[in-house]
Amino acid sequence: MLVERIMYADPKTPVNCVFTARIKGEIQEENLISALAKIQQKHPLLRVKIDRTSEPYPFFIEVKDIEPVPLRIVPRKTEEDWFTESEKEWMHLFEDERKPLAQLVWIKGQKVSEILWVLPHCICDGTSLVTLMRELLSLLDDPSVALDSYPLFDSVQDFLPYDFNVRKKKRKARLYLIMARLFFLMQRKSKKGSPGKNYVVHWKLSPAVTGQITAKSKAQDVSVHALLCASFMEAFRQVQGKQAKGKVISPVDVRHFIPEIRQDHVFAFAPTVELSINKGNQNVLDNARQIKKDLKEKIEKMEARELLWMGEHMHPVVERMISMMKTSNGGHDVTLSNMGRLTIPNAYKNFTLETIISPTVAFPWLNSNTLVTTTYNQHMDFTFMSNENFLPKEEAIAIKDKALELLTS
């Protein structure tokens, strides 16, 4: 699909998601290997390679005798080993066609371990990562748990409703393709050049502060997501001044619109909504109320099935899209993915899930500003990612600090 190709980028550019869980207790290596085998058998995208030669565009093809999901074991030395190993995995290139598009890293300690799922973004979204972690922990706790496999979707045609007017939509698709080509012809490259070193700023809020933010949202009749968007956009404005765009890109789980894609399916497409704050109004709560209203209206109007189908007609300009994202400042401050409360159990027979660290990814785009937040066990957790050439790390920390001040004031 179009979005899969964008997140694939090209054969030599890794775009990997890393999702980390910290476990207290004993883990047996044989149980990890057994769990990975069951999970791989369930999810068809863990049994595919990317074929780049048979057709004009790359596509997934199932490999019958594919190797097991690799397990890399690292001795645990410090609390920050997860970050060091995440940085390594950002740059891991899944180029061996005999191996699946996934890897597990076990940072092995005597009493505490970290488990890192690593997958290319072209096969998974945030919901997929949560599903894989939940299934892994369940199988580590009870190896007899059964997982039901499901067939891989063949194409976007699988998602079209019976009354979809292909003839009418084709005219619209041709017009969009012409407009896209004209748009890319007019684009100028940024003077900032290529992206610098990728980094992540990570922080976790206490249950008290998490509860304070939740209570504030409820009392002011705004969603936590709207409050986060308004607070971070205002923080960008206060730190960056006129350079701030006052816009945020917000991914939405496609499963809300296409129930054939189940909650436990590994799938990559997440439609996005662009949200803005009023440049003449610095009141965070006013802007949060407007964002809540705008988000609701845009989600109600979203045609996810049509978006998937229309995207298939944009393949001729995918390389230009990717080139633009690598060289353009973009029109937004940050992509904010709020994954919400994670439904993963905390207590197991032989271990406990101590904490979850929100997913990280090192995008190759010039504007790679990405904020991911999750809530687990009453702690809100944040990962803020970018690159030094576009947003210096010190500036990202200043934005984070200002946003937290706005969230809790």
Q: Are residues 110 and 204 in the same domain?
A: no
Residues 145, 139 contacting (CB under 8 angstroms) = yes
- Of how many residues is the chain composed? 409
Q: Is the pLDDT of residue 98 over 70?
A: yes
Q: Are residues 282 and 211 in the same domain?
A: yes
Predicted pLDDT at 166: 83
In a domain, 110, yes or no: yes
Q: Which of 361, 331, 333, 358 is nearest to 89 (CA)?
A: 361
Separation of alpha carbons 296 and 300, rounded Å? 6
Separation of alpha carbons 331 and 321, rounded Å? 14
Q: Are residues 216 and 332 in the same domain?
A: yes
Predicted pLDDT at 167: 81
In a domain, 161, yes or no: no
Q: Is the pLDDT of residue 190 over 80?
A: no
CB 27: neighbour CB atoms within 10 A? 16
Q: Are residues 240 and 387 in the same domain?
A: yes
Q: What is the pLDDT of residues 351-404, one digit of tens each?
A: 999 999 999 999 999 999 999 999 999 999 999 999 999 999 999 999 999 999
As a whole number, mean pLDDT of residues 248-252 equals: 97
Tell which of 118, 141, 164 closes a domain.
Answer: 141
In a domain, 349, yes or no: no
CB 106: neighbour CB atoms within 10 A? 19
Residues 359, 17 contacting (CB under 8 angstroms) = yes
HEC-encoded secondary structure of 109-157: CCCEEEEEEEEEHHHCCHHHHHHHHHHHHHHHHCCCCCCCCCCCCCCHH
CB 292: neighbour CB atoms within 10 A? 21
Q: Are residues 390 and 283 in the same domain?
A: yes
Measured CA distances, 409 to 227, 231, 330 (Å): 12, 11, 30
In a domain, 126, yes or no: yes
Residues 149, 44 contacting (CB under 8 angstroms) = yes
In a domain, 309, yes or no: yes
Listed ranges 18-27, 158-167, 273-282; the one with the highest mean pLDDT: 18-27
Q: Are residues 309 and 215 in the same domain?
A: yes
Separation of alpha carbons 156 and 317, rounded Å? 18
Q: What percent of the chain shows pLDDT beyond 90? A: 84
Q: What percent of the chain shows pLDDT beyond 70? A: 98
As a whole number, mean pLDDT of residues 34-50 equals: 97
Residues 173, 313 contacting (CB under 8 angstroms) = yes
pTM for the model stands at 0.95
Predicted pLDDT at 191: 64
Q: Residue 21's Cα: distance from chain center in Å?
A: 16
In a domain, 113, yes or no: yes
Name the 3-class secondary structure at 337: strand
Q: Token match 């499963």: residue?
A: 255
Pick from 102-106, 177-181, 198-202, 209-213: least confident: 177-181
CB 184: neighbour CB atoms within 10 A? 14
Number of domains in the chain: 2
Q: Are residues 135 and 247 in the same domain?
A: no
Q: What amino acid is encoded at 392 in this protein? A: P
Measured CA distances, 207 to 377, 378, 407 (Å): 8, 5, 14
As a whole number, mean pLDDT of residues 272-276 equals: 96
By residue range, what is the domain housing residue 80? 2-141
| CATH classification of the domain holding 269 | 3.30.559.30
Long-range contacts of 47-53 (CB under 8 A, 24+ apart): 47/100, 48/100, 48/101, 48/123, 48/152, 49/97, 49/101, 50/8, 50/97, 50/101, 50/122, 52/11
In a domain, 172, yes or no: no
Q: Which of 238, 235, 236 is nearest to 331 (CA)?
A: 236
Model confidence at 189, in pLDDT bands (50, 70, 90)?
low
Q: Are residues 13 and 113 in the same domain?
A: yes
Q: Are residues 210 and 120 in the same domain?
A: no
Separation of alpha carbons 213 and 124, rounded Å? 29
Residue with the larger pLDDT of the pair 140 and 180: 140
What is the rounded average pLDDT for all residues in the chain?
94
Percent helix, strand and coil across the chain, each to the nearest 5 = 40, 25, 35
Name the 3-class secondary structure at 388: coil
Q: Residue 74's Cα: distance from chain center in Å?
A: 25
Q: What is the pLDDT of residues 104-126, one digit of tens each?
A: 999 999 999 999 999 999 999 99
Q: What is the pLDDT of residues 122-172, one digit of tens each?
A: 999 999 999 999 999 999 999 999 999 999 888 888 998 888 888 888 888
Q: Are residues 128 and 265 in the same domain?
A: no
Tell which of 112, 141, 170 closes a domain.
Answer: 141
Predicted pLDDT at 184: 79
Tokens representing 71?
A: 């397990």
Tell which of 95, 119, 141 closes a domain.
Answer: 141
In a domain, 42, yes or no: yes
